[in-house]
Structure 1
Amino acid sequence: MDPASGVIVAQTAAGTSVVLGLMRCGRIWLCPVCAATIRHKRAEEITTAVVEWVRRGGTAYLVTFTARHGHTDRLADLMDALQGTRKTPDTPRRPGAYQRLITGGTWAGRRASDGHRHTDREGIRDRIGYVGMIRATEVTVGQINGWHPHIHAIVFVGGRTEGERADKHVVDVFEPTETALKEWQDQWRSVWTGALRKVNPDFTPDRKHGVDFKRLETERDANDLAEYIAKTQDGKAPALELARADLKTAAHGNVTPFELLGRIGDLTGGMPEDDAAGQGSLEWNLGRWHEYERATKGRRAIEWTRYLRQILGLEGGDSEEDDLDLLLAADAEGGELRAGVAVTDEGWSAVARRALDLAATEAAEGTDGNTDPAAMGERVRKVLALADVADTVVVLTSAEVAEAYSAMLDSLALRREEAAARRLRELNRRDEAADFVQERAARHIERLAGTDS
């Protein structure tokens, strides 16, 4: 993070170790190390949101969206169909089936000539009290059925809101009628399958498997999620289903991208194919991994409806910068630190180049029961001597670690303030752009009607 301060390898009161001062890549799609931390924090955030909404009296649904796929389909084409295409210098962004769900007059209602909406002009969104949703995209692949990207979403309904954009807030909660809920589910199933059929008829799922709805009945349902966030790997808890794709083992003969990566590591390390986890040859796994890298570039793995966090009283964002903030915050949650070792920036770089960073952190743990700072420092020093950087090590007492730790927290707080300001500027720019588009559209309509602008 800061070359001037270097890195601190510290021992916590629990006897574990933590490395402070390192910047991470933050690649949620590609990095198993960063993905585990980011997804764990995202899962906690999702659980908090669901608990808060159900506590208020609202209703939440876990909705899963899938497309029909075959072994010849390319992942990029399927992702474009589900999520939409990415904007390039030469082509505009094209909405995917997901964006089609929340557009159109049937969903959003229609305005009268005076610009207002009346009861008879309300859309499905109003009748179910749609507040927003959290979307997560997951990808698996198999040799028989090919790529299988799918979307999990937790949808918050049963709320009446007032205000626009950043000023939007919930003024009441209610129980949507069974008629309204059925209308919503039928509409989303119809829109989803229709949008996929329009992109490619081969992607059209059957009505049973295309869109699946599961309701969270009570606040206890939501609270129970927290027990499974970091432990369960079966994907049964809704927040885990959204966020912890890194923990899953794919079903129906498929593998997850990180299982591809694990098999690549085993096979390149000389392990026989029959002994390595996963499936396929090294060539097949490398080909799928490279295709996965290209298809996920520039896409968000987890995304909230804009302003949903503010409505629920939460902070944060979905950008890559926000993911890095989560990693930094996780580093700062190591608990009480009782001893540490400071290593210069150049010294730690030498340690990492020789792949001794794991050994150094393990040496900082109190596994032998000796938590004396000098003893811990000697253990770490022996490891770093292998990289010829033992002279860059400074052993810190608990007080010195606390002082250095406090300075890092101050730096983190400054980064988070800058991130919050950055998000606000981005939201303001988007709002200004939306206002400009609406104004231009209104003028165009006036000209078509033959009135003066």
Structure 2
Amino acid sequence: MDDSAVSLRAESGQGTDGGAPLGNTAKSSPPSPQAKRADRYEGLGYARFVLSRHARQLKPNAMAGDVYRTVDCRYVRRDRTVGVHFSAVHQGAHYSNLATCGSVWACPVCCALIQQRRRVELAQLIEWAYANDYRPLMVTFTFPHTAFDTLEDLMAKQKQAFEFLRKGSPWDKFKKRYGYGGLVRSLELTHGENGWHPHTHEIWLIRDLSPIEEVAFVEFVRERWLKVCERVGLVTEDKRFAFMLHAVDVRFGVSQSDYLAKQDASRAWGADREVATSTSKSGRASGVHPHEFLIRRAKGDSARYLDYVHAMKGRAQLFWSHGLKARVGVEDVTDEVLADESLEPADLLGLLSADQWSLVRRRRKRAQLLDVAETGDWLQVLRFLKSIGWDAYA
């Protein structure tokens, strides 16, 4: 069994560190609530904590204060105690008084929280658009790349291309012709046989178009994207034909309930989900998300992950046109705020002492303790602590 498999088993209560699996923490503890949630957390909560631990192991502790804030995320205490909270409304549990990094790129745990909350904003955007006589569409932009291209170079050229795309009188006339009312762009990044693959999904707001207008619309966007990509060096003459076939995809009249063609292993994506949760996608034919490096840990994956963290630092995953959030009525909230679970209304079940939190970390039971806390019973949490080695009288 490889290290990743051992880590997943350890974090999910099947490990070799002496902790008992959930449902067997004490004879008087009912196993059914935890057992019912086991599959869900094996694939989501547990895995995210495992990935965050792998990320922490990759990053030099000496640099934890800057690029590597993920080193401390949901691991280092910000106070003497760690709060354990339960929300009866959401049937979920979370910690407080822990450091959070708020990185949608580097941190698997913060990424999941931020994206799900951004999804609500995008659903609000689409609902507002239809109510105000716009017809939202989705445009996906890609471009050729090779295994020899560096991520920083591709990102710089992509940024230039988008700046040129939306400059000049042709673009101004285009916006006026189609009643363009703004956009939201989501940046997605995968890695495959041909190296890094940055691409975007954008929701554009336009007026309702006839079939003939839709054809002219797509033709303009494709030709203009080709022109700006040639200008910044993202496409060469020999790749123009393939570029025109694959580099731009336009889907008209999207809604939050539409299911798009893009799917991962078992999930279909609506327009709002496609944009907001793009970085959560795992393996697919065109490549894997960089978080996959933390799972497979093949030769070169550590270096690739660190390159990724450096290149994406400071970049926004979601970009809204100037003034669009205010028009839609969406509050401008940072990723750091969205990643802070302690801001959500929830009941405080109890406080973990510094020694108790140290034990939970050492036993790799951060996710499993939250699963127990979802019973809403602090006594169950105390029994769980005892099952992993806590002695209140030591």
- For the criterion TM > 0.5, the same-fold answer is yes
Q: Which amino acid aligns with 2:291?
A: F
Q: Whose Rg is larger?
A: 1
- Is the Cα–Cα contact under 8 Å of residues 117 and 338 in structure 2 kept in the other structure? yes
Cα offsets for 1:339-360 (capped at 9, x unmatched): 611235x456634652443343
| 1:256–1:233 Cα change, 3 Å | farther
Q: Does structure 1 residue 100 correspond to structure 2 residue 137? A: no
Q: 1:129 aligns with which of 179, 197, 205?
A: 179
Q: Which residue of 2 aligns with 1:196?
A: 229
For residues 116-195 of structure 1, the aligned pairs below 5 Å read 123-143=173-193, 145-158=194-207, 175-176=208-209, 181-195=214-228
Q: 1:30 aligns with which of 96, 102, 106?
A: 106
Counterpart CA distance in 1 for 2:97 and 2:357 is 12
Q: Which residue of 2 aligns with 1:209?
A: 246
- Is the Cα–Cα contact under 8 Å of residues 364 and 379 in structure 1 kept in the other structure? no
Q: Which moved more, 1:29-38 or 1:246-255?
A: 246-255
Deviation at 1:289, TM superposition (A): 1.8
| 1:27–1:235 Cα change, 3 Å | farther
- Is the Cα–Cα contact under 8 Å of residues 340 and 377 in structure 1 kept in the other structure? no
| 1:333–1:48 Cα change, 3 Å | farther
Q: Which amino acid aligns with 1:106?
A: P
Q: 2:153 aligns with which of 77, 92, 96?
A: 77
For residues 225-264 of structure 1, the aligned pairs below 5 Å read 234=267, 236-252=269-285, 254-264=287-297
| 1:69–1:36 Cα change, 3 Å | same
Cα offsets for 1:324-383 (capped at 9, x unmatched): 11123685155xx3x611235x456634652443343344342xxxx654x335325526
Q: Which TM-score applies when normalising by structure 1?
A: 0.60
Q: Give 3-state SS (helix, strand or coil) of 2:284's partner.
A: coil
- Is the Cα–Cα contact under 8 Å of residues 135 and 304 in structure 1 kept in the other structure? yes
| 1:34–1:377 Cα change, 3 Å | closer
Q: Does structure 1 residue 364 correspond to structure 2 residue 377? A: no
Counterpart CA distance in 2 for 1:189 and 1:330 is 45
Q: 2:338 aligns with which of 319, 326, 335?
A: 326
Q: Which residue of 2 aligns with 1:302?
A: 318
- Is the Cα–Cα contact under 8 Å of residues 256 and 272 in structure 2 kept in the other structure? no
- Is the Cα–Cα contact under 8 Å of residues 136 and 255 in structure 2 kept in the other structure? no
Q: 1:378 aligns with which of 371, 375, 382?
A: 382
The total of aligned residue pairs comes to 312
| 1:255–1:45 Cα change, 3 Å | same
Counterpart CA distance in 2 for 1:329 and 1:362 is 16
| 1:299–1:102 Cα change, 3 Å | same
- Is the Cα–Cα contact under 8 Å of residues 39 and 243 in structure 1 kept in the other structure? yes
For residues 31-46 of structure 1, the aligned pairs below 5 Å read 31-46=107-122
Q: Which amino acid aligns with 1:147?
A: W
| 1:32–1:3 Cα change, 3 Å | closer
Q: Does structure 1 residue 283 correspond to structure 2 residue 283? A: no
Structure with the bigger RCO (C-alpha within 8 Å, sep 6+) is 2
Q: Which TM-score applies when normalising by structure 2?
A: 0.69
Q: 1:55 aligns with which of 106, 131, 134?
A: 131
Q: Which residue of 2 aligns with 1:448?
A: none
Q: Which amino acid aligns with 1:301?
A: Q
| 1:62–1:21 Cα change, 3 Å | same
Counterpart CA distance in 2 for 1:291 and 1:129 is 40
Q: Which residue of 2 aligns with 1:10?
A: 85
Deviation at 1:254, TM superposition (A): 2.0
| 1:313–1:331 Cα change, 3 Å | closer
Counterpart CA distance in 1 for 2:84 and 2:231 is 55
- Is the Cα–Cα contact under 8 Å of residues 102 and 338 in structure 2 kept in the other structure? no
Q: Give % identity.
A: 26
Deviation at 1:253, TM superposition (A): 5.3
Q: Which amino acid aligns with 2:358?
A: A
Q: Give 3-state SS (helix, strand or coil) of 1:36's partner.
A: helix
Counterpart CA distance in 2 for 1:55 and 1:212 is 25
| 1:327–1:54 Cα change, 3 Å | same
Counterpart CA distance in 2 for 1:308 and 1:29 is 24
Q: Structure 2 stretches of 5 or more lacking a match?
A: 1-73
